[in-house]
Structures are given as C-alpha cells and as structure tokens.
Structure 1
Amino acid sequence: MNTKNAKTLPLIFMVVGALLTIYALILDFMKSTGELRGYILILGVILLILGIFKIPNKKHTKIVNMVFLFPMIFTFAVTVIIPFILGIVYSFTDWNGIQVTKFVGLSNYITMFKQSDYVYSFVITVIYTVINMILVNVVGFALALVCSSKIKGTSFFRSAYFLPNLIGGLVLGYVWQFIFNKVFTTVFAGSVSMLTNANLALLAILIVNTWQYAGYIMLIYLTGLQTVPKDVLEAAGVDGASAITTLFKIKMPMIANTFTVCIFLTLVNSFKQFDLNLAITNGAPSRIMGADIIQSTELLALNIYNTAIRKNNYALGQTKAVVFFIILAVVSLTQVAISKKKEVEL
C-alpha cells in the first residue's frame, strides 16, 4: 500500500465508522425495532477503532486527539453549554418547565427586581459573603500558621481541621440544626435556639460554614507557607526580625498568590451557598418587611430554588439564575483583578 493510500484509508474508516455509529444511535433514539441498529453500531465502532489505530504518521495525531476528546466535549456541551444557552432563552419566555407558550421580553427581569424577597436575599447574600469570606480566610490562615509551627501533633491537627470538609453540606446542616435546636437548648436550660431568632439565624449559618470550610482553606495556605524559602526565614531570624515582622513583611508578601486563590474560592463558595442554607434554616425564620413577609435567611441560591421548584415559576427562577451568574462572574473577575494588582505591589 503506497503512502497516499496509507493516509487516506484510515480517514475513510474513521468517517464511515463515525457516521454509522451516529446513525445507529439515531435509530435507537427513534425506538427502531429489530437487530439492524445493533449490527450497524458494532460495524461503526469497529471501523472507527481501525481508522484510529491505522493512522500512519504524526500528522494525524490531532484527528486522533479530537476523536478521543469528542465524548468529553459532547458531554460538556450537552450538560453545560446547551442548558446555559437555553436558560438565557427561557428567561425571556413564560416557560413552565415543560413548554414555552409565548415570548415575554424583559417582563421576568422587571418582575424579579420588583420582588422585595429577591432584593432582600441579594442584600443579605452580599453581607453574608463579605463576613464569611473574612471569617474563613482569617481562621484558615491562623490554623495554617499553627500547623506550620514546630509544635507536636501538627499532623493530627491538620487532619482534624480538614475533617469537617469531607462531610456533605446537607448532612452537616441537619446535624448542626439538631445541635442548635436540641443540644444547645438542653445544655443551656431556658435558652432559645439561634435558628428561631431572625437576627441570629444567619450567624448560625456563618458559624457552621466557617467550621466546615476553614480546614480546606487552611491546607491551601499551608501549602503556600511551605513554599517560603527557609534560608530567607533564617536570615530574617539572624537579623533579629520578630515573628510578627517575619509574618507581615516576609511570609504574607511571598504567598500573595495564595491569598488570591483562597479569597476567590471563599467568595464564590459564599455567594452560591445553598446546601447549608437549605438544611439549617431553609430560609426561616420569617421577618416582616413593609407589607411583605419574607424569609430572613433566604440567600440568593435558595431564593432561586424556591422560586422555580416550590413556587413552580420556572421562567422567573431561570431569570434569577441568569442574573445570579452574571453577578457572580463580574464579582469574581473583579476580585481576581484587584488581588493580582495587589500581588504586583507586594
């Protein structure tokens, strides 16, 4: 077989094999009866594999790579890209979760911003995000400093601090709901659960999230601290630099990129908080705001869920989700840009 045929034949096998495979899948999707589609699928797969392994030289490696990447790209498109595009389209319709009957333009967006519960959820989500971002990073960095010190048992402490992060948010939320409602009120007789107080319920979620997530952030900070050259620290010690000076003048500037990563992770995690919010309070307790009764701890993600699933308003819920994505993207990109600028200054 000459060189030209050696290059062409595998490509023909691949194309025919791919077409036969797709045709067999279409027949299966259309509920076609008979054994024909099975034989077509087997033949298509065989030709596709033969074509891949018969490619003679490196010029065709891109084709081979694309063939192997196709399942991943196809899955990503079907599960992420296409639903995202459809979600944007549905936000301009009266979609009921099954079908679209008419195009409503910006009506859903106008309705969304007129809802006092949505505005309230947005405000408390921002407050929650700022406080939680500070708490988790401060606690996580403090734990990293402890675990990077020369005290005994640091391996145990690392495992113990990280352990809460291995528990699922919903499970952890229900466990802590029991602790707040039953354990604390029993131990401290006569006390009222934080979860029944509209002013303290959000604090309970902050406490649990910090307890769960600080250990994960600690590991990232710990990795950053271990990259600081020991000779630099030894030189600082010889020059008489105190532990505080070494921390603020040497360690922190040298792990500025670690701060960027941790702040980004906690920012995104806080803004899209859902599982703990659902399990611990489910938005309760209620609060009177003007003429409306709203849920005092209903963060944005839970508000979107309740709008679509519980109130059966899928179009409005999708509209809120689109705006939620835009806000999260803008805030995240802004935070990363500012942090990168600070890294350069440090």
Structure 2
Amino acid sequence: MNNQSKLDNVDGVVLTNLKNSKVSKSVSLNKKKLKDIGLFALFVGPVLLAFIIIVLIPFFTGIYYAFTDWNGVTGAIKWVGLDNFKYLFTQDKQFQSSFILTTKYTVVAIILTNAIGFGLAMLVTQTFKTRNILRTVFFMPNLIGGLLLGFIWQFIFVKGFASIGQLTGIPLFNLAWLGDASTAFWGIVIVSVWQGAGYIMIIYIAALQNVPQELIEAAKIDGANRWQILRHITMPMVAPAVTICLFLTTASSFKVFDANLSLTGGGPFKSTEMLALNIYTEAFVNNRYGVGEAKALIFFIVVAAITIIQVTISKKKEVES
C-alpha cells in the first residue's frame, strides 16, 4: 500500500506539472497573439483610420447625396431618388459632351503617353554617356505640380508661341492654341503627355533592364533584325509593365483636372470641359451638390469598369505571350 500510494503521488505530481506546462504555454501563446495584435494596430491602425475618415466615409456619404437635391450649403436635404440620374441622361447635354470628350482624350493620351514613354525608355537604356542626364530631364516634368505646370504652359502657348511665330513665320506657332476648340484640346494633350511620359518611362526602364541579354544576343546571331527582336522578345518580356502603365494612364487620363482647369478652364464655351471639371463646376460653382455627386458616382463606376476590363485583358495577353 505504501508503494501504491507513492506511485499515485508521483502520477499526481506528473499530471499537475503537465497541466501547469499547458497553462503556461497557452498563456505565452495568448501573450504572443496580443503582442502581434498590438504591433499590427500600432503600424496599420493610424493608416486604416485615416483611410476610413478620408476615403470611405466621404465615398459612402457621397453615394447618399447623389440621391438628394442638396446644394452643398444649407442643411435642407431632400431625397429625390433617381431624378438626378434621369436628368443627366436626358437633359444635361454638357455632361454627355464632356463624357465623350473625356473618352476621346483618354484614348489619345493613353496611346501617346505609352508610346513616347516606351520610346524614351528604349533610348535611355542604350549605352551612351548622357543617358543618366536624359533620364533626369525626361522625368523632371512629373515633379512639377499639375496646376503650376498648366499655368507655365499657358504662358508658353499664349506668349511664347506668338513670339516664335512672329520671328519665324511658321503657321504652327501662329495658331490660337487655347482660343480654338480643336487646338485647345491638343494643347491639353501635349501638356499631359509631356508630364506623364517621364513617369511611364521609369516603369519601362525597369522592365527593359530585366530582359535577358542572352536572348537578344542569340536572336542577333540567328539573324533577327531590331524589329523582330522588339516584337518577339522585348515586348513579351515587358508585358507586365505594359499592363501597369496602361492601368495608370487610363486612370489618370479619365481623371484629368488640373491641366484642364489651368490651361483652358473648360473653354472656349465649354468645348474642352472634361468630366472631372464638369463635376467640380456642377457641385462647387453651380451649388448643385446632389447632381454633382450623381455625376461622380457614374464616373466612378465607368472608370472602375474600364480599368478592370483593361487589366483582365492585359493579364490574359501576358499569359498567352
């Protein structure tokens, strides 16, 4: 009996120790989880809070105001349902023309910005001494603020081109660049492409530098010319960069505002009023905040749909290539 009681005591001690070890392990795991949660909250919490306050809350309140007749000033808000949207698609001809103009501008800006950006990237990835200086020069316009850049180019179009035209007699410089609807549109395109091509160039440079030189050398040995190398080797290898650049240029072109405001202000006679400027004018100049929010909601849905389709198609082409 004495031996049996001793064994029972030993078993009891062992079980107690096992329970204590399990408890201590669970406590340590809980402390680790709490520590991880605390670190996560410390680093992500402020950003998440700022995102909720600056982005999410205005976004959802804007959706609510799109169905009201609020003027953006008084506290009187009346629910009007889909009346704002019916007005946009049936009576607001300026919104429709701005939408068409923005789509036209976006197509032109995407093509030119990517083509020029890729061309500049091909140029500055060649082996010559001034390539680093050229990279800096081509990228510098992107560092200038949009409004400031627009006012600088406004002076160039109005004063600079007029002076050059008087000295040289070249008809191109004697055009009323910002006073005529057709030339004012191309003036906005020139400024936007000049500013954005340098940023797109940086992305293409990173992609071109990752193209294996062994493939290019092997293609040259096999007798491939520059066009064949560009088409069958370089372009498939930089396809992910093309997807990114198309996404960036699509989003930025649809949302063009500062260049439009500073160069033409939508003139002459609202012939160059892009969609973002039209929304701004409706909400903050005409004090029709509900209608402006309805335009912004439609704008958001269209841009989101187009960018999702563009990324999906580009990704499929990446896989195929």
What TM-score bracket applies, with the shorter chain setting the length? Answer: 0.7 to 0.9
Match of residue 67, structure 1, among 41, 50, 53? 41
Q: Give unmatched runs, 5+ long, in structure 2.
A: 1-19
Within 1, Cα distance between the matches of 2:26 and 2:237?
53
Q: Distance in 1 between matches of 2:69 and 2:30?
A: 55
Structure 1 regions of 5+ residues with no counterpart?
A: 9-53, 287-294
TM-score (norm 1): 0.80
Could you tell me which residue of structure 1 aligns to residue 226 of structure 2? 243
**Is structure 2 residue 101 aligned with structure 1 residue 124?**
yes
In the other structure, the counterpart of 1:104 is: 80
Letter matched to residue 60 of structure 1? L
Give 1:290's aligned residue.
Answer: none
Of 191, 194, 200, the residue aligned with 1:208 is 191
Q: Kindly state the Cα deviation for residue 55 of structure 1 after the two structures are TM-superposed.
A: 9.8
Rounded to whole Å, the distance in 2 between the matches of 1:267 and 1:67 is 34
Aligned residues: 292
Please identify runs of 4+ aligned residues in structure 1 that moved more than 6 A: 2-8
Distance 2:267 2:26 in 1: 67
Q: Which has the larger radius of gyration?
A: 2
Q: Specify which of 244, 252, 258 is matched with residue 269 of structure 1.
A: 252
Give the alignment's TM-score, normalised by structure 2: 0.86
- Offset at residue 150 of structure 1 (A): 1.9
Q: 1:319 aligns with which of 294, 300, 305?
A: 294
Moved more, 275-284 or 106-115: 106-115
> What is the identity, as a one-letter code, of the residue corresponding to 2:317?
K
Q: Residues 149 and 200 (structure 1 numbering): CA distance in 2 closer, same or farther, change over 3 Å?
A: same
Residue in structure 2 matched with residue 282 of structure 1 by the alignment:
265
Contact (CA 8 Å) 1:93, 1:100: kept in 2 or not? no
State the Cα deviation string for residues 172-199 of structure 1 (Å, max 9, x = none).
0000001101111122128242100112
Q: Residues 192 and 237 of structure 1: is their aligned pair in 2 closer, same or farther, counting only changes over 3 Å?
A: closer
Equivalent AA in structure 2 for residue 207 of structure 1? I
Q: 2:164 aligns with which of 157, 162, 187?
A: 187
In the alignment, does 2:206 pair up with 1:223? Answer: yes
Identity among equivalent pairs (%)? 46
Secondary structure of the corresponding residue to residue 194 of structure 1: coil
Preserved CA contact (<8 Å) 2:176 2:183: no
Structure that is richer in helix per residue: 2
Q: Which residue of 2 aligns with 1:334?
A: 309
Q: 2:247 corresponds to which letter in structure 1?
A: F
SS at match of 2:182: coil
| Corresponding position of 2:182 | 199
Match in the other structure for 1:151: 128
